[in-house]
Amino acid sequence: MRRWGLLQAGMVAMTVLLVVTMIFDVACAQTPKKQFDLTIHGFVPAVSAHRITFGLTEFLRRDSTWLRGTLLEGSAIANLKLLQQPDQRPTAVSAAIGTVLSDQQRGKPPFKTPYEFKVIVVLNHVAPTIATLNPNIKSMADLKGKTVAIPYRKGPHEQLMNAMFEFRGIKPDEWKPVPGYFGKAKDDLLAGTIDAGWQSFTYTKKPVAGTDELMTRKDTYFINWTDEEFKYATEKLGYTIRHFKIPKTSDPRMKGDASCILDFIALYADVKLPDDVAYEIARVYHKNVKNFVKYEPSTAYYTSETIVDTGMPLDTFHPGALKYYKEAKLIK
């Protein structure tokens, strides 16, 4: 009888402990999470990635009970420099392209010291190319002595061109790079103030808005580099980017094939950004993967796989974002 009494007492104690635990869990679940104000450093409104990050702020407002985003205009290099500021590291994310990130990680110009950021999510895949209105400019060698608009002085596009020129024996002072982001390069081409400039296609081989306008208004030609030129340049610079050709059959307005870089734009963060914030961004982004087309038509190709397609090692991802992607089985 005494053993039975002890057994009953033990069962009662366990029941009480279970009930108390359940009540505590329910109470925790019902306790609202404190609002977290996230700063999102995007691009200028004319760029597709800016419209995508704007969509993200809207989806966070709708689908997250505690995470709110404020979008600010910026540029790839400026964004990564801002993200190095102590007050920004735990509270901000920045949009930037993969090649710029590569330069930042290795401390190459225009960055002075190496710094490692982590990927939260891939915003978009882009295919930059060099456009001209001059039918006699067809190859990298034809750009010798010409004025070419590049997105950022001393940035990855200029470095890539200098390395390909080097392969052909062309020196850095034998061409003239001038600053001109994609939209400005389009305007300068139409104004006739430059010989060539960087434009872009989408992941699905469609011209982005500015390039589409250029091709509609004028006969537009695209530079074709060789596999040997590109291989030499990427190996010299340490870039892991790929390249491909868009055939002229892709669009009736194309006068020839176009050599393109396959790059990506992503949201980056410092490791000091809390894991739960990175997790929540990844969750909301994935949930709305098919809804971004409302803000940016070029995202129609989006799938669960494309938002994690960096071609880089898994440790490139922020730990919080990686946790979500593994739980969602987007990454093994």
Measured CA distances, 257 to 101, 201, 215, 311 (Å) = 28, 12, 14, 25
Residue 81: closest CA among 41, 48, 119, 52: 41
Q: What is the predicted pLDDT for the residue at 102?
A: 77
Q: What is the CATH topology of the domain spanning 36-125+265-327?
A: D-Maltodextrin-Binding Protein; domain 2 (3.40.190)
**54, 25 in Cβ contact below 8 A?**
no
How do the pLDDT tens digits run along the chain, 332 residues long?
A: 455 454 455 554 555 445 444 544 444 445 678 999 999 999 888 778 889 999 999 999 999 999 999 999 988 788 888 888 999 999 999 998 887 777 777 777 777 778 778 999 998 888 999 999 999 999 999 999 999 999 878 888 999 999 999 999 999 999 999 999 788 999 999 999 999 999 999 877 889 888 999 999 999 999 999 999 999 999 998 887 889 999 999 999 999 999 999 888 899 999 999 999 999 999 999 999 999 999 988 788 888 888 888 777 788 899 999 999 999 999 98
Domain 36-125+265-327 and domain 127-263 have a common topology = yes
147-150 and 92-97 strand pairing: unpaired
Q: What is the predicted pLDDT for the residue at 169?
A: 97
- Which architecture, in CATH terms, is 127-263? 3-Layer(aba) Sandwich (3.40)
How do the domains of the chain map onto residue ranges?
Answer: 36-125+265-327, 127-263
φ and ψ of 241, to 5 deg: -70, 155
**79, 95 in Cβ contact below 8 A?**
yes
d(CA 242, CA 310): 11
